[in-house]
Structure 1
């Protein structure tokens, strides 16, 4: 998975966009959820539209999103939004789509939403997908070893290693071990509600 060379959002811009998606009920639910997945987990829209509701895992009170291995924890406010979206997905009223398990069903039976169309809509609500994704992956690499980020978010390890070097991350030396618990649930600086989850594989 390649990460665009387009300039990433600043961390303040990323957190501002994240806060807006979590609180602005005027923004359509599917755009709020898709945008949050980009901003937290650095996922490309082409991959987001392929997610199914089976990729959202409930383990007691915990909600996980399967993007890589292990599945990434979903912070509470995001989990609530994600579960509400699943219960009220768009394009589910037609007979052909009534049993769809797509997280973002398209208008055609069995097909997901179109990635280009969804990306354009996200740009319209203030989430430039390439820049948002770049900001999310770089923030993860400042806090976690590149191999952990690659596994959790579905990125190629060469991609995360290169980006880590570009961002000046401190994880240039890394001892394998149980680092899987840090990927989500952290509350990013500057926000009291949103946890910063692990990053996907690209």
Structure 2
């Protein structure tokens, strides 16, 4: 639009609907428990659901993850969501290991698509976020509501700057979420992130 290569567009304002309201914490944990334990669910959808329900990650960021974002030293699996990388609890770590091992036997295992945790239909491109949302809803995971529930739990337990750094959020976004959740960390002084990060994780 700036270079006049396309017409100027007026985007509609974001409308917050009931689908965006957070889940009750008990409901989020019940869905997470099912995702971790129900082997009848598709593995890739289970792997995608975990960072939403545990780490409050948006689907648009999850689809961009690559194999290189995952580190496994045989004792701990970490995923690069923020700084430092987030360690995965053992049930989720097992799912991630199984997913990465399964792709070694796929037809495109030697292609660029194999580097994507959630490869799309176009070679080397990630899955469309809307498509992943459809897969998640099929297994009973509401992406927006699950993420909202997880982030509100985080911001009620730790200062916004710590949450923003650990989960890869912008400081202003995390601060806004603290305010919406009625958090009590508005007088937090920066510089003590390491201590709080250890406490949160």
Under TM normalisation by the shorter chain, which class is it? 0.7 to 0.9
Change in 2 beyond 3 A, CA 1:168/1:27: same
Instruction: Kindly state the Cα deviation for residue 162 of structure 1 after the two structures are TM-superposed.
Output: 1.2
Matched residue SS, 2:78: strand
Would you say 1:54 and 2:71 are equivalent positions? no
- The answer to whether the 8 A contact 1:8-1:134 is kept is yes
Would you say 1:27 and 2:41 are equivalent positions? yes
Change in 2 beyond 3 A, CA 1:174/1:95: closer
Q: Which runs of 5 or more structure 2 residues have no equivalent in the other structure?
A: 1-13
Q: What residue in structure 2 maps to residue 17 of structure 1?
A: 31
Q: What is the RMSD of the two structures over their aligned residues, measured on CA atoms?
A: 2.2
May I ask how many residue pairs the two structures share in their alignment? Answer: 182
Q: Which runs of 5 or more structure 1 residues have no equivalent in the other structure?
A: 185-202
Would you say 1:162 and 2:179 are equivalent positions? no
TM-score by length of 2: 0.83
CA-to-partner distance for each residue in 1:128-181, whole Å, 9 max, x for gaps? 111111011111111111101101111111111111112122322223212222
Q: Kindly indicate which of the two structures has a greater share of residues assigned to helix.
A: 2
Q: Which has the larger radius of gyration?
A: 2
TM-score by length of 1: 0.82
Change in 2 beyond 3 A, CA 1:123/1:174: same
Distance 1:166 1:24 in 2: 34
